[in-house]
A and B are shown apart, each in its own frame.
Chain A
Amino acid sequence: DAKTTQPPSMDCAEGRAANLPCNHSTISGNEYVYWYRQIHSQGPQYIIHGLKNNETNEMASLIITEDRKSSTLILPHATLRDTAVYYCIVRVVNQGGKLIFGQGTELSVKP
């Protein structure tokens, strides 16, 4: 299964866009990119996922490069409640849908 690389930590000012990068250079053609986040003392929460095209929902936008070797999660107007660990995960589609988590990026949104 493909692995991902994320920066261990990032800071973002409240109200500004938070752009979280992820490298997945060995991703296979049928593997999706998923983003989850984990707020302190809670279980991980699904944010968004995509295969090739850019995706947007009420929480965030996902930009996937054309070669699919990297992606960026964008939180358009970060709030203090967005402070969390963000996980970029490549979905092992042919193994029953399990998610393999990496270390994630700890995002701190500051006033």
Chain B
Amino acid sequence: EAGVAQSPRYKIIEKRQSVAFWCNPISGHATLYWYQQILGQGPKLLIQFQNNGVVDDSQLPKDRFSAERLKGVDSTLKIQPAKLEDSAVYLCASTLTGTANTGELFFGEGSRLTVL
């Protein structure tokens, strides 16, 4: 079974530039998450999708971050303009359901962003 695919694996940009990350979840997984992991810290949830609708984006800095999940499959996370503090690994995860089911989350390997 193919896992969660993310690209690019690494990206270096200068502050105020824009960047986009792509995620392809496991086939059939209705729920998709984006996490931000700053070096030395645990992952922090940015946004959760159920199919193509947003379930929770309370921790997403909406002045610069945006995310979409067209057609309820692939998702894109965009940062514009980037700040130095956005340097982090961006993790995508998916699961079969976003309800009270105890299904486990499957994570991709992440996209490492460095903002200079």
Contact = CB atoms under 8 A, between A and B. Distances in A.
Nearest to A102: B42
A44 B91 contact: yes
Contacts of A32: 102
Interface string B81-116: 000000000010101011111111111111000000
Interface stretch (A15-23, A66-74, A76-84, A89-97): A89-97
A43 interface: yes
B100 A93 contact: yes
Contact of A43 (B55, B100, B102, B109): B109
The number of chain A residues touching the other chain, given as a range, is 20 to 34
Contacts of B56: 95-96, 98
A104 B42 contact: yes
Contacts of A34: 104
The 8 closest A-B pairs by CB, nearest first: A43-B107, A101-B42, A46-B104, A96-B98, A101-B43, A93-B100, A96-B55, A44-B107
